[in-house]
Amino acid sequence: MKNIFLCALLLGASTIFAQGPSVDGARAANFLNTIDNQGAAFGSSSLIRNPSNSITGSVHLFDDWSNKGVAVISNDQKVAVNKLNINVQRNTVEARINTDSIFTFNLGKIDRVIIQNRTFKQVYFPIKESNRLLEIIGSSDDFVIYKDYEIDIKEGNPNPMRGAQKDRFIIRDQYYAQIGDTFKKFKLKKKTILKAVGAKADEVEEFAKKNKFSFRKDEDVARILQHYNAL
């Protein structure tokens, strides 16, 4: 597998500054594993195992592998990668190399990953006393709003007389606000966000109202906090 990666690297993979051409999972894997002058790995490849037929649904956040994204190594070093996804069950970032193998990123070597304009970053999560990959919804100098994803299994109905249903993977999410080193559960709604922005609440509320932004939608909250940061 390593030899295949090295061949792919010779075919071309490049860092980007701001924007540039995307590379597939194999080329990205090779490139990441060769740019570190200390030789430390940026991840590893593995074969895809056929999932059990007893559970339906997916452990991946995005519906398919057609996503283009960017692995940000540092402020001036980025790699654009095709076929990225988030494995919620394993709490990892993966790139599809081919039909039967994937590349799993070593998140300790990467600052953050951007997929479909959504940013994911590994941070120390004191609630679980471990590092965890979280989605950044919005941030300011005072606080950061994260979204955590977990896998749950919804039990099916094994009784064929009632229309037998298989167990199903369900992706659940929970918002958290980080203030300093403290993480607390956070409800994405108008009251909690206006409380978080403090003295600038009136200006933030007026901006959201003028632009018809919702305090309950991730993408709108990101825009609201961008405006808050500019005040």
Q: Please give the Cα distance from 69 to 83 (Å, whole number).
A: 8
Q: What tens digit of pLDDT does each residue of 149-160 get?
A: 999 988 777 666
Q: Please give the Cα distance from 106 to 76 (Å, whole number).
A: 19
Question: So what's the pLDDT on residue 24?
Answer: 56
Report the 10 Å Cβ neighbour count for 77.
13
Q: Which domain holds residue 149?
A: 2-186
Question: So what's the pLDDT on residue 15?
Answer: 36
Percent of the chain beyond pLDDT 90?
A: 49
Higher pLDDT, 164 or 217: 217
DSSP state of 202: H
Residue at 23 is within a domain: yes
What is the pLDDT averaged over residues 192-213? 96
Per mean pLDDT, which range of 54-58, 90-94, 171-175 is the poorest? 54-58
Average pLDDT value for the chain: 80
Residue type, 212: K
pTM over 0.85: no
Residue at 215 is within a domain: no
Q: What tens digit of pLDDT does each residue of 137-189 get?
A: 999 989 999 999 999 988 777 666 666 678 889 999 999 999 998 999 999 99
Residue type, 145: I
Residue at 60 is within a domain: yes
Question: So what's the pLDDT on residue 4?
Answer: 38
Residue at 212 is within a domain: no
Residue 105: pLDDT over 80: yes
φ/ψ of 92, rounded to 5, equals: -140, 165
* Strand locations in 48-196 (E): 55-56, 68-74, 77-82, 84-87, 92-98, 101-105, 112-115, 118-125, 130-139, 144-154, 167-179, 182-185
Number of domains in the chain: 1
φ/ψ of 42, rounded to 5, equals: -95, 0
Residue at 227 is within a domain: no
Residue at 18 is within a domain: yes
